[in-house]
Structure 1
Amino acid sequence: MVSLSQFRCETGCLEIGLPHIQRFLELAGEVCRSLNPTVIEDMALTLKRVREGGGRLFILGVGGSAGNASHAVNDFRKLCGIEAYAPTDNVSELTARTNDEGWETVFREWLKTSRARAQDALLIFSVGGGDAERGVSMNLVHAIDLARDRGMTICSIVGRDQGHAAQHSTHAIIVPQVDPTLVTPISEAFQSVIWHALVSHPELQIAETTW
């Protein structure tokens, strides 16, 4: 078998594209080795208790993390039997609230209308996790503050340990910043890796996948 380095030397075809791909994959491996499985295990067991207590799971994300939130809602509902929702799935309400009330409060007001309560949980997908001092992702900041006021469980999968989510979560999984130029793609990629680890956890998963 020809190694990647041999292939690069013999063909010259990898000089433009694959060095980045090789590095990205190596960094992904580094992140995998750096994650603490105990923290992910604890989050899985906490979500199991939320389900057993009749609680709901609200998943919040912005941008690419919003797409991840939608996918994760499907998995937690279908595979784990948890009543889960993502506010960003309702584009009409989201844009109406943005237009009439402002972007910063869309998640907080959505949670209020949903009568979010102590039995429920919030799951944050974010790169930075919100920053009140810098005014970044204030919609997440306000939602987290509401969840804290109501005694909700707060879980987060984020790429920054100093953000609002990491600082105020019951369980926070921090995706290591292994390359300052790739914080966003690696953080959002590992949101998916980690939630799939959660929904396939034998203490959480109650329905089999087709494949």
Structure 2
Amino acid sequence: MTSMTTQDKLPTAVFTAYASRLQEVLATSDWSGVAQLAQDMKDCWISGRQVFFCGNGGSAGNAIHLANDYLYGIAKRTGGGMRVSSLSANAAVITCLANDIGYDYIYSEQLAVQAQAGDLLIVLSGSGNSPNILRALEQAKTMGVKTCAILGYSGGKAKAMCDVPIHFAIDDMQIAEDMQLVVGHMIMQWLYENKPVAE
């Protein structure tokens, strides 16, 4: 058994500080970009256009999580969900592209094959500066694919490159990633309450 030194912080102190930072972001955020993204996603749902998510690390996990929510969770009936996929989900494709042409291209190459004009790309990034995220945004622009970026920190280069920036100016990667899911779940619940298809 080790004794706590004066340098150690009690877990509850760390948790309280984390909760305070998260609460501040939630209380001070501008939700207009989220409202725009919600409408763009509803439009894709109505028209049958595709929505793509991507991210790195924890953001990749969030991209997969949210694709699940929109495929099934918004409708909860066979065939009623959105045409949505996570570009972060297929390990064989990702490792092939990373090995053959470089990690910077793992998302842009998938978009080049799968996306069409009028589709929607949602990138999740803490920094907004990951090269594969920026290349995905560039590729989407060349194809007429609308783009949204959910970002932390300064927003990085992605903030100016996307059509709909959703920026939480927090220098904390975990809270930045929390906010990706918060936004995703907010829109999920709104869509569930505003279904464009008959149940």
1:5-24 matched pairs, under 5 angstroms: 15-24=9-18
> Cα offset for 1:204?
5.4
8 Å Cα contact 2:147/2:162 also seen in 1: yes
User: Does the alignment pair 1:200 with 2:194?
Assistant: no
8 Å Cα contact 1:45/1:203 also seen in 2: no
User: Does the alignment pair 1:35 with 2:26?
Assistant: no
Instruction: Give the direction of change, closer, same or farther, for the CA distance of 1:104–1:173 in structure 2 (3 Å limit).
Output: same
Residue 110 of structure 2 corresponds to which residue in structure 1?
110
8 Å Cα contact 1:44/1:204 also seen in 2: no
Match of 2:152 among 135, 147, 159: 159
Residue 46 of structure 1 corresponds to which residue in structure 2?
40
> Cα offset for 1:206?
6.7
Cα shift readout 1:95-134 (whole Å, capped 9, x = no counterpart): 01111111011111111121x122210001110112xxxx
Instruction: Give the direction of change, closer, same or farther, for the CA distance of 1:52–1:161 in structure 2 (3 Å limit).
Output: farther
- State how far apart, in whole Å, the 1-side matches of 2:143 and 2:39 are: 21
8 Å Cα contact 2:46/2:197 also seen in 1: no
8 Å Cα contact 1:69/1:86 also seen in 2: yes
Instruction: Give the direction of change, closer, same or farther, for the CA distance of 1:84–1:34 in structure 2 (3 Å limit).
Output: same
Deviating more after overlay: 118-127 vs 76-85:
76-85
SS at match of 2:147: strand
8 Å Cα contact 1:78/1:207 also seen in 2: no
Displaced runs of 4 or more, over 6 A: 205-208
Q: Matched residues, percent identical?
A: 27
- State how far apart, in whole Å, the 2-side matches of 1:196 and 1:51 are: 16
- State how far apart, in whole Å, the 1-side matches of 2:51 and 2:85 are: 6
- State how far apart, in whole Å, the 2-side matches of 1:89 and 1:119 are: 22
One-letter identity of the residue aligned with 1:105? Y
- State how far apart, in whole Å, the 1-side matches of 2:156 and 2:107 are: 17
Unaligned runs of 5+ in 2: 1-7, 75-80
- State how far apart, in whole Å, the 1-side matches of 2:93 and 2:58 are: 19
Residue 5 of structure 1 corresponds to which residue in structure 2?
none
- State how far apart, in whole Å, the 1-side matches of 2:91 and 2:177 are: 21
One-letter identity of the residue aligned with 1:23? A
> Cα offset for 1:150?
1.3
Aligned Cα RMSD in Å? 2.0
SS at match of 1:123: strand
Residue 120 of structure 1 corresponds to which residue in structure 2?
119
- State how far apart, in whole Å, the 2-side matches of 1:187 and 1:163 are: 13
Residue 10 of structure 1 corresponds to which residue in structure 2?
none
Residue 66 of structure 1 corresponds to which residue in structure 2?
60
Cα shift readout 1:151-207 (whole Å, capped 9, x = no counterpart): 211111110344232112221111121xx4xx1011001111110001111335879
Unaligned runs of 5+ in 1: 1-13, 131-136
- State how far apart, in whole Å, the 1-side matches of 2:165 and 2:12 are: 33
Instruction: Give the direction of change, closer, same or farther, for the CA distance of 1:102–1:207 in structure 2 (3 Å limit).
Output: farther
- State how far apart, in whole Å, the 2-side matches of 1:175 and 1:197 are: 15
